[in-house]
Every structure is written in C-alpha cells, then in structure tokens.
Structure 1
Amino acid sequence: MAEMIIRLEELEITMYLGIHDFERARPQRVLISAEITVTGTDWQAGKFFDYDPVAEFVRAFNGTRIDTQEELVSRIHAFVHSREGVVHAAIWSKKPDVYPDAKAVGVVLRG
C-alpha cells in the first residue's frame, strides 16, 4: 500500500516557552511544523487523513506554559502518532524571536 506524506508548515502559536526569566515573562511566537507519513488513504474511496485535529491540538497550546521545546514537540508527536494510519512523523518547533542575529532556534523529533 502506498504512503502519503502530509505537511503542516509553520503554524504560528503564541505561548510561554522556555526556562529563562525573559521567556517566562511574556509569551512568544512559536512556529510548529509536521511531516506525517500515513497509509490507508484512498481519496477515491473517501479515505483520507484528517489533519484538522492536528492543527487544533497545536492551536490549543496558545497561551500555555511549557519549559522546553523538547517537551512541546514530544507532546505533539505523541498526539500525531495516536491518529489512525500514521506510520512516521517528524515534528519541529521554532522560536523565531530568540536571537536578533538568527532566523530561529528549533527542535525536531522524528520517529
């Protein structure tokens, strides 16, 4: 059976993410991306991977507080893997406003 890859690119949320005082003082932008490999899809038969629940799960982190990007991507990764048909996922987060001389700082979890 063929595999399909679903991509969600840079869904922006705003949350408290980090261990440093300045990261705990105010919310910051976080960009979440996912590459999700699924099987069992057949658009002609109406079988598809519904990525809306993934986007909703990520959006639910708006306004929350988590200490590390590692924890954030681990939570999202676990949710994605709980979805029917998922055989592999890569989830990454990026904080674009941490350093003025860097585009972003991020973490990737694959598996």
Structure 2
Amino acid sequence: MHSMLSHPSLLDCRRLFLRNYEVWINIGVHDYEKRGEQRVLINVELYIPLALSTPRADQLHEVVDYDFMRRTIAQRVSQGHVHLQETLCDDVAELMMAHPRVRAARVSTAKPDVYPDCESVGVEVFRIKSSMTEIQP
C-alpha cells in the first residue's frame, strides 16, 4: 500500500500499519461462497499525530496499540456473513476512524484465492477526519 504521508494534513503524523492480517470469513454473494469461509487479507494504515503518539516515558498507553487493529478486525469478522468486500473494508475503516487518536486510515481487503491467474482481488478505502477537533489526546 502506498503511504499517504505526503498528504498535507498528515505531514505531522506517524504511520502505524498491519500488513496482510489473514482472517477466514464467510464472504461473498454467490451461493458457493455462502457455504464456507474464505481467506481474506486485511491491510491497515493508521495516521496518528506525532503529538499524540510520541512516548515520553516509553509506555504503551502513550501510543496507539497494534492490538487495537487486530482486535477490532477480529470482532468485526466474528459478526457473520458479509456479501461484499466493499462492506467489510468500509466497516473496518469506520472502526479504525473511531479511535480518538486516529487522524486518517487506509484499509484494504484482498481475496487471494478467487482466481488462479492473479495474486488477489480486493478493494481499498482511505478516510481522513474532516477537522482537527475530531482528534482527541
């Protein structure tokens, strides 16, 4: 995933990422897809203002914990069948953006086992908070 750190409102941010987090989920619109789980790879980039993520005492509570990304995705995946990757991707992005320290999020989902002649098929979304007042320390 290409970094969005060149976006003007993200220049004072650090980027946290979760790459190729593999989940098994019941996803798809076709009947054969509804009969079992498929492997989906989820990638997340979170953009956190340096002022809200630079540790002074080298303590976990001073930063956004990577477990937040994994735990949040696992909770979403456990909610049951999803028809579209777009829905899953949008849901994960919205959940990431709900974190008070996150200024922006980039999320992608990929189904690597759909076609034998390509690496994967997927979708990606980028969200950014409209104002700095939405970001909490």
- TM-score, L = length of structure 1: 0.92
Which amino acid in structure 2 is aligned with residue 52 of structure 1? D
Which residue in the other structure is 2:5 paired with? none
Higher relative contact order (CA closer than 8 Å, sequence separation 6+): 1
Which amino acid in structure 2 is aligned with residue 110 of structure 1? F
Whichever structure has more helix as a proportion of its residues is: 2
Q: Distance in 2 between matches of 1:92 and 1:37?
A: 15
Q: Secondary structure at the match of 2:43?
A: strand
Q: Secondary structure at the match of 1:86?
A: coil
In the alignment, is residue 43 of structure 1 matched against residue 81 of structure 2? no
Whichever structure has more strand as a proportion of its residues is: 1
Name segments (4+ residues, structure 1) moved above 4 Å. none
In the alignment, is residue 54 of structure 1 matched against residue 64 of structure 2? no
In the alignment, is residue 28 of structure 1 matched against residue 28 of structure 2? no
Q: Distance in 2 between matches of 1:27 and 1:110?
A: 26
Pick aligned residue for 2:17 from 7, 23, 30: 7
Q: Report the structure number with the largest CA radius of gyration.
A: 2
- Deviating more after overlay: 49-58 vs 79-88: 49-58
* Cα distance change, pair 74–63 in 1 and its aligned pair in 2 (3 A): closer
In the alignment, is residue 16 of structure 1 matched against residue 26 of structure 2? yes
Q: 1:51 offset after TM fit, Å?
A: 2.2
Q: After the TM superposition, which residues 23-102 of structure 1 pair with which residues of structure 2 at under 5 Å, given as runs?
A: 23-39=33-49, 40-45=52-57, 46=59, 47-60=62-75, 61-62=77-78, 64-102=80-118
- TM-score, L = length of structure 2: 0.75
